[in-house]
Amino acid sequence: MKRKSLGKPSKKVAHSSSFTPNLTAGPFQSGAVVLVTLNNPREKFWGKVLALDPAGLSLCGIELASFEDATNMFIGGEALSAASLFIPMHRVERVELDCPSGSIPSLSQRFVSRTGIEPHVALVGPPLERSRS
């Protein structure tokens, strides 16, 4: 039995120059606390997403290697020296939500348990000073 050809399948592809994927939809919206791994040079940051678009990632955060020191200084009354950064997308290797892993608390949970302040409040533009109690 011979199959009848129904003609060429229709290939409908969006070629509109106005089409832009909404990269901020989903878990990496503005305000999400994330861990970012960069390449060339290799660096890691913990911080709050300010914006995410095809050009790159804007982040308010600190280097992961200085997380403990920054937290200790913040507890001691010093300002949290979070930097507002723009990272070009070609440097971004990985972005992951700061979530607990099994029984291991997230960095956000560790920050809250040690300081009593939510990371999204502490990670703001100018350094936030804590009142000494």
The answer as to whether 109 is a domain residue is yes
| Domain region containing 109 | 33-122
pLDDT at 20 over 60: no
**For residue 31, is it left (φ>0), alpha (ψ between -120 and 50) or beta?**
left
pLDDT at 94 over 80: yes
Who's near 83: CB < 8 A, 6+ residues apart? 60, 61, 62
Q: Are 55 and 92 in contact (CB under 8 A)?
A: no
Count of structural domains within the chain: 1
| pLDDT (0 to 100) of residue 33 | 94
| pLDDT (0 to 100) of residue 97 | 94
- Torsion of Cα atoms, 31 then 33 then 34 then 38, to 10°: 60
Give the DSSP H/E element, type plus range, for residue 84. strand 83-88
The encoded tokens of residue 97 equal: 């939500």
If DSSP codes are grouped into helix, strand and coil, which group holds residue 65?
Answer: helix
- Residue with structure tokens 């000073």? 129
Enter the pTM of the model: 0.73
CATH number at residue 82: 2.30.30
| pLDDT (0 to 100) of residue 55 | 95
The answer as to whether 45 is a domain residue is yes
Count how many residues are written for the chain.
Answer: 133
CA distance 57 to 87: 5
Q: Which of 56, 60, 11, 74 is nearest to 31 (CA)?
A: 60
